Each structure stands twice: as C-alpha cells, then as structure tokens.
Amino acid sequence: MLFDWDRPSAERGLLRAIELKPEHSLAHSWYALLLNVMGQHEAAIARVRIAERLDPENLTIHLSVGRVLCFARRFQEAHERLSATLEMDPGHALTYVWLARNLLALNAPGEALAVAQQGVQVAGRVPILLTWLGLAHAALGHREEAQAIVEQLAEQREGQYVPSCFTMFVLAGLHERDEALAWLDQVLHERSGYVAFSGTDPAWDLLRGDSRFQTSLRKAAFAAT
C-alpha cells in the first residue's frame, strides 16, 4: 500500500490478516485506511469503528478514527475525535499534526497555527510538525514565516531523512505550484507513502487539479482516484 502502491495486494494481505486474527485491531485500522485510499469512505468508517470496539483504549486506534474521518472529508467529526484523542495524551506529537491538518481543511488556519505551535512546544521542531506549522503560516498569508520553514526543512535534510513531500506541501501552500511540482519528482522517486493517499488526502488538494500532477503520477505507474 505505502511503498509499492499496490492496492489489490495490500487488500489481500490485510483481509488475510483479519481472517487469521479477527480481533487484531490494527489490521482493521489499516484496512480502513486502505479503503480510504480506494475511495470507499463509508466502508472505511465502518471498518475503523470495528477496530475501536476491539481496542477502545488504544491511542493509535483513536487517532486512526480521526484520520479516516478526515480522509472521508467529515472534518467536523474528525475534529471532535482528534480533540478527544489529544485529551488522552497531550504529549502525542502526531495528534497535534492531525488536529492542525484537519483544522486547515476546516478553513481555520489561525486555530491550526495555534495547535501546530503547541505541538512544537511539546515535541520540538521536528519536520512533520514544522510542515503543518508552515502550511498554517502560508494559509494566513505569513509568507516569510512559511518560507523560513522551507529553509529549515532544507537544513534538517542535511542531517536526517526528511520526506520531500513536506517541502512540496509547504510550497504548494505558498502557491509556488511550479516549484512544488518540481519536488513531486523526488517524492515519487522516494516512493513516499504519502503518495498512496494523494487521491483523498486534503493535503494534496492544491496540486491535484494540475494536469502536470496527474501526468507525473501516471509516469510513476500510480493512478490517483
């Protein structure tokens, strides 16, 4: 699903996992995300609810419910779930990421910025949090702050792996579409797992309508739906 972008094989593997161990909540959770990828959002929500019933105290499952709802573009429900997830563990960096992502999708960039800033205070200036901090700044018209984050991601790339899609997303948020699409080639070369969600994830909305985006995906043997 994430590296080969092979949906049929991923579905066979996940269904086999569920057959072997029906009570395995993470198998249901990942199958829900695959259903999102395939555009089957109601089925995805139903499936992640099974995971939640199997393991109601699991933070990862709670976060997955929020992710599935966000991919299904049920943003208000996603916000409610992600807010509750943060209450479970106020130190969980990825929950801040998803809250900020979903708030941007709700067209609430000021709130998204506050959440991303809070996440940075909790977890530090890690690349994934910087990305959504940069996107919030870009959505608010704070070009200098967003561009500074593009530069910081470049600096961090010198000492660690930083997914190229992080830079691409911030540049797209700055409406630097040509530059963002130039980064897409590297994203595809890395076989980024984010590409699997390119047909449904709101983070890709600023690029998805560009014919060059679809052409690049076709050349990479990936068909976004």
* Structure tokens belonging to residue 164: 């190229």
User: Rounded to an integer, what distance in angstroms lies between the CA atom of residue 32 and that of residue 14?
Assistant: 10
Q: Where are the alpha helices (DSSP H) in 72-163?
A: 75-88, 93-105, 109-123, 127-139, 143-157
Rounded (10°) CA dihedral 130, 202, 90, 55: -140
Measured from the Cβ of residue 159, the count of other Cβ atoms closer than 10 Å reads 7
Select from 103, 164, 161 the least CA-distant residue to 131: 164
Asked if 10 and 17 count as a contact pair (C-beta separation under 8 A), the reply is: no
* pLDDT in the model for residue 222: 60
Measured from the Cβ of residue 95, the count of other Cβ atoms closer than 10 Å reads 25
12 alpha-carbon distance from chain centroid: 23
User: Rounded to an integer, what distance in angstroms lies between the CA atom of residue 186 and that of residue 188?
Assistant: 5
* pLDDT in the model for residue 217: 86
Whole-model pTM: value is 0.94
Strand (E) or helix (H) holding 167: helix 164-173
* pLDDT in the model for residue 225: 41
With a CB cutoff of 8 Å and minimum separation 6, the contacts of 22 are none
Measured from the Cβ of residue 215, the count of other Cβ atoms closer than 10 Å reads 11
Asked if 202 and 101 count as a contact pair (C-beta separation under 8 A), the reply is: yes
Q: Chunked in runs of 10, what are the mean pLDDT values of the chain (225 residues)?
A: 94 98 98 97 98 96 98 98 97 97 98 98 96 98 98 95 97 96 94 94 93 87 53
- Residue environment code for 62-79, b if the CB has 16+ CB neighbours within 10 A, otherwise e: bbbbbbbbbbbebbebbb
